[in-house]
Amino acid sequence: MSQLAAARRRLHSIRSLIRQGEPFSAVQVLREAVSIMFSEPLMKSEKREFQRMISDASYYIVCDQHIRKLAPELELAYVPGRERVFLAKVDMLLEKIDEKVHEDAQEAARLLLEDKMRQDMELGRQMLDAGLMDDARGVFAELAREHQNCGKLLHDIGGSFLRAGAYADAVCYLEEALKLEPGSLPVSSSLAVALRRMGRYAEAERVYLEALREGNGAPHLLFNLGRLYVDWKKWDRAVKAAQCALRLEPGFSEARRLLEYSERERESLTYLTNTSNVDNFSLIFYSYRKMPEPGPDRFYRLSSSVAYPFSYPFFAHSLQFLQEYNLVIENKNFSEKFFFLQ
């Protein structure tokens, strides 16, 4: 087959390639056919034939939606006598196509990697749900090694351990996530929750305060700080945190309940630590020890002057206090009586 016959065949195939959804292949075929035509001597009738075929092929290509999206400003009209200009435009279009193919390949690889990451994350979570803690640790450790600079992934892994109650593992991953995403409110909150549940209150407080200093004064962050102070039994700080949350969001109902609870607990503790109430407390404690099933309603029948801190909602706190006081009496360690009242 002669070079011109090959060029004819290529030009005739362009419309079929466009219809098959292969416009990029069509541009490459056009470039090859035009190169052959320009390098071969042509008779006048052959030149007119090829000019018409090139014009038709160019029209099919520029009308394709993929080509228009890739190079909307490109004009690919063939003008006899300006073959070099036409070839330069075809070459420019081919460069754009090469860039697009490279980008598409990168995107495909990225999507495959993300899909594998999602599958591994789901596998690790399933292992945690099944109680296979060591297996889950292995899956997550490998995943973290493959994506060691992905703060979001480390946060997700830490969150999975947090929900599973593996707080030490959660802290390890969340601390690394916070290094990659300093000041991140979601990461800071998750880390502080894990530390709080481990009883590492001072460290949890430091994480919350650092997030607040970064400008993340979100009401929910202040609310969680208040919950930390409740666990820590620092009632004054819990009250202040709840008040700050309510100043930012007056309709924050959970913060309102936190404030009311903290104020009641603080007031109850103040009453119990007041040495002027020691005699009243002794009276209540004596009655408490005589009751087979103490309850908040029973304390009301003692005396209106001494029943207040043992009425609902203070009863839970006070009952624990009385139980501890009972152990002191039973152990005859009376010197500890005032320790409980400090």
Q: What is the 3-state secondary structure (H, E, C) of the chain?
A: CCHHHHHHHHHHHHHHHHHCCCHHHHHHHHHHHHHHHHHCCCCHHHHHHHHHHHHHHHHHHHHCHHHHHHCCCCCCCCCCCCHHHHHHHHHHHHHHHHHHHHHHHHHHHHHHHHHHHHHHHHHHHHHHHCCCHHHHHHHHHHHHHHCCCCHHHHHHHHHHHHHCCCHHHHHHHHHHHHHHCCCCHHHHHHHHHHHHHCCCHHHHHHHHHHHHHCCCCCHHHHHHHHHHHHHHCCHHHHHHHHHHHHHHCCCCHHHHHHHHHHHHHHHHHHHHCCHHHHHHHHHHHHHHHHCCCCCHHHHCCCCCCCCHHHCCCCHHHHHHHHHHHHHHHHCCCHHHCCCCCC
C-alpha span between 284 and 140 (Å, rounded): 55
| Residue 284 is assigned to a structural domain of this protein | yes
The answer to the question of residue 213 being in a domain is no
Q: Is pLDDT above 70 for 338?
A: no
CA separation for the pair 34, 94 (Å, rounded): 14
Q: In terms of pLDDT, which residue wins out, 249 or 79?
A: 249
Does 128 have pLDDT greater than 70? yes
Of 85, 107, 129, at which residue does a domain stop?
A: 107
Domain final residue, candidates 86, 107, 128: 107
Average the pLDDT over 76-83 and give the result: 76
* Residue 56 lies inside a defined structural domain of this protein: yes
pLDDT at residue 204, as a whole number: 96
Residue for token pair 């100043």: 247
In a domain, 189, yes or no: no
Is residue 67 one of the residues assigned to a domain? yes
The rounded percent of the chain whose pLDDT value lies above 70 is 77
More confident residue, 19 or 44: 19
pLDDT for 319:
52
Structure confidence at residue 318 (pLDDT):
53
- The total number of structural domains in the chain stands at 2
pLDDT confidence tier of residue 70, bands split at 50, 70 and 90: confident
Evaluate if pTM is beyond 0.85: no
With beta carbons less than 8 A apart as the criterion, state whether 136 and 127 touch. yes
More confidently predicted of 111 and 74: 111
Res. 300: pLDDT tops 70: no
Q: Evaluate if residue 245 carries a pLDDT over 80.
A: yes
Residue 237 lies in a domain: no
Most confident of 13-22, 130-139, 278-287: 130-139
Residue where one domain finishes, among candidates 49, 81, 107: 107
pLDDT score at 216: 63
Amino acid at 276: S
297 against 150, higher pLDDT? 150
Q: Looking at residues 63-77, what average pLDDT do you find?
A: 80
Average pLDDT of 308-329?
49
Bigger pLDDT: 84 vs 322 = 84
HSE-CB of 338 using CA atoms within 13 angstroms? 3
Going by C-alpha positions, the residue among 202, 247, 248, 210 that lies closest to residue 228 is 202
- Would you say residue 242 lies in a domain? no
Q: Which domain holds residue 38?
A: 3-107
Q: Which residues, including other chains, have CB under 8 Å from residue 244's CB and lie 6 or more apart?
A: 217, 222
In a domain, 223, yes or no: no
**Over 90: is that where the pLDDT of 253 sits?**
yes
Amino acid, single-letter form, for residue 47: K
Residue 306, pLDDT score: 41
